[in-house]
Amino acid sequence: MRARIVQIGNSRGLRIPKTLLEECGITESVDLTVDKGRLIVEPVRNPREGWAEAARLMADRGEDHLLDAETPTDFDETEWKW
């Protein structure tokens, strides 16, 4: 599909058809990058997107344990006083 670059105030813009935006999951904000002369437009993703589901799957498989052994300190060895 070809599109034209249009003047928008002092800037230039690209009109993207709604169907393409929906197909890419783009709603409000995008990340723009350039790779080998190509402009890449991607939807902004939540940095922790999918973490809850990944944690649930790990728990279901019994993989949600600590990787390192506990390292007790003097604080852990003494009786606490409240």
Question: What confidence tens digit (pLDDT) does each residue in 16-73 have?
Answer: 999 999 999 898 899 999 999 999 999 988 888 889 999 999 999 999 888 888 888 8
- Name the one residue in this structure whose structure tokens are 């019994």: 62
Q: Which pLDDT score, from 0 to 100, does residue 66 have?
A: 86
Distance of alpha carbon 58 from alpha carbon 1, whole angstroms: 42
- pLDDT of 77 strictly over 90: no
Q: Which CATH number applies to 5-65?
A: 2.10.260.10
Report which of 42, 12, 17 is spatially closest to residue 29, judged by C-alpha positions.
Answer: 42
Q: Which has more pLDDT, 79 or 65?
A: 65
Residue 33 is classified by DSSP as E
| 13 touches 5 (CB < 8 A) | yes
At residue 82, the pLDDT reads 76
Residue 79's pLDDT is what?
Answer: 79
